[in-house]
Amino acid sequence: MSNIKINYFYRDAGNYKNFGSIIFINPQNIELSALEDLIRSKLISHHWFYADQWQVPDLHFGTWDNKLDHSFHEFESVEYTDEPADAWADIALFINILKNAPPL
C-alpha cells in the first residue's frame, strides 16, 4: 500500500515560490486519477485553493506584503509515495474535507 503525496506551493505576486507537500496514509487504496479529478474540480480557475479550507499547512512567507501577497495556494501534483505519512489524517478524511469545501 502506497501513501499519497499532494504537492502544492505558494507563489506571491513577485513570483517568489514556497513549495510544500503533505503525505497521507492510504489504507483504502484510493486511485490517484479519482483523487486528482476531485482536487481539480475544487480548484479556483484550474489552479488555486485556500489552504485553510483544505486543512493543509499554509506556505506563506514569514512577513505579509500587501503589494505581493494574497491568500491562495497553487496545486502542483498528486502521486504515490513510499515516504512516511506526515498528515493529521488518512486520505479518506481529506477527501471528505474536499467534498465539503465551500463552493467556489
Residues 53-74: tens digit of each pLDDT: 999 999 998 888 877 788 899 9
CA neighbor of 94 nearest in space, from 8, 20, 25: 25
Cα-Cα-Cα-Cα dihedral of 51, 55, 60, 64, to 10°?
90
Asked whether residue 61 is domain-assigned, the answer is yes
**pLDDT confidence band for 103 (50 / 70 / 90):** low
How far is the C-alpha of 19 from the C-alpha of 8, rounded, in Å?
6
How would you class 60 by CB atoms within 10 Å of its CB: exposed for 0-12, middle for 13-18, buried for 19 or more? middle
80 in a structural domain: yes
Domain count, the chain: 1
The position carrying cell 503525496 is: 5
Any domain includes 49 = yes
Which domain, by its residues, includes 35?
Answer: 3-99
Is there a domain that residue 76 lies in?
yes
Q: For the whole model, what pTM was predicted?
A: 0.91
- Residue 24 C-alpha cell reads as 497521507
More confident: 14 or 79: 79
Q: Is residue 104 part of a domain?
A: no
